[in-house]
Structure formats: structure tokens, C-alpha cells
Structure 1
Amino acid sequence: MQSVYLKFYLTEKQHHQGKQLYEWVLEHARAQGVPGGSVFRAVAGFGRHGHLHEETFFELGGELPLQVEFVLDSAQAESLLATLRAEKIKLPYVRYAVETGLT
């Protein structure tokens, strides 16, 4: 089956409407019928500004990179992206076609 893999990049410190942004995105995806989503915290990373964020003893909370991932159909991907745009949430993302199935 043809599906879409959609991944967003954000940090722990990002919030929207009083919630952590990753929770907000997951809740809205679920409300739109997306079959599943996951959030992964990175050990280290850097973004467009080049600042390295790492998990160390001295790292301030909320600075670590997160990835929010979904495998969904194209219409659901467009709907989720439209929701983020309507809320004026600007997140870097990747989207590409994938094959899904069961063995």
C-alpha cells in the first residue's frame, strides 16, 4: 500500500496553546484520523542556526531536538499540514512516499 511518511523537527521547549507542541501535534493528528504517530528525542542535534544541542549534565531542560513522525495517507498528510499552517505553526518537515504492509 502506498503511504506518506511525514516527520516534523522541533525542540522540547516549543509550546502551542498552553501545551508542549509535540503533544498538540499528536492530539490533532489523532483527531484527524491519523492511524498512529510517535515522538523521538534526540541525543544531540543542530538546526539551521548551527547551535549544537546535546544531552549533558549541564544542558538546560527543553533544548533537546524532537522528531514527530507519522505514516499516513496523502490526504491525511495534507490535512495535518493545513492545520499547522492555519495555526501559524512553522516547523521544518520531510515528506516522502513509502510502501507499507504486513509480512
Structure 2
Amino acid sequence: MDGYFVTFFTQQNRTYRDMPIAKWIIEEATQLGVRGATLMSGREGFGHDGRFHSENYFDQEDPPLQVSMALTCDECDRLMDRLKENQLRVFYTKPKIEFGFTSEG
């Protein structure tokens, strides 16, 4: 299949409707029928605002997070529309990919 490898970048303390944004994205993707997503916590990083984020002892509430998923073009459009409908501003990358399974089963 052809599609996109979409990765959303956020932080643990960013919320939408009393839920971490990363979890909200995963729940919305699930409702849209996306077959899988991966949530990864980063050790440290900085955002567009120049603020440093890390999982160290003094900054535990704000580690960087990534939500990644392989999506068909239609799935990607529907998920991006859902984010726009809810007026969520989240940085993402969206390179084109080919994906599938190596064998039946």
C-alpha cells in the first residue's frame, strides 16, 4: 500500500479536553479505523518555542512525546480533518511511504 508515515510531536503536559494530546490522537485514530499507532517518549528535546523538554528528575511532567503511524492517504486525510475540526495545533511530519506485510498470515 502507498500512504504516509505520520509522526506527531507533543509533550506530556499538553492536553485537550482533559486528556493528553498524544492519547487523544491515538483514540481518534482508533475511532477512524487506523490499524495501529506507536507512542514514544523521548528523553529530551526542544520545541519551536526554544523551550527544553526532558524526562529528568526536575522536568518529569513535560517529556517530549511522539505518536507515529503508517496511514493510507484516506486515513491520513480523515485524521488531519479531525484535528482541524477540533482546532488542535500539533507539529507533524508526513513523508510518503510504501507499507505492508512480508507474507500472508
With normalisation by structure 2, the TM-score equals 0.90
Q: Which runs of 5+ in 1 are unaligned?
A: none
Report the CA distance between 1:54 and its aligned residue: 2.1
What is the identity, as a one-letter code, of the residue corresponding to 1:5? F
Do structure 1's residue 90 and structure 2's residue 89 form an aligned pair? Answer: yes
CA displacement 1:8-34 (0-9 Å, x = unmatched): 010000111121111111111011011
Task: Summarize the alignment of residues 1-103 of structure 1 with structure 2, pairs less than 5 Å apart.
Answer: 1-59=1-59, 61-103=60-102
Matched length:
102
Return structure 1 stretches of 4+ with deviation > 2 angstroms: none
Q: Which runs of 5+ in 2 are unaligned?
A: none
| Distance in 2 separating the partners of 1:89 and 1:69 | 17
CA displacement 1:20-60 (0-9 Å, x = unmatched): 1111111110110111111100001001111222222222x
Identical-pair percentage: 25
With normalisation by structure 1, the TM-score equals 0.92
Report the CA distance between 1:101 and its aligned residue: 2.4
2:36 and 2:69 in contact (8 A); partners too: yes
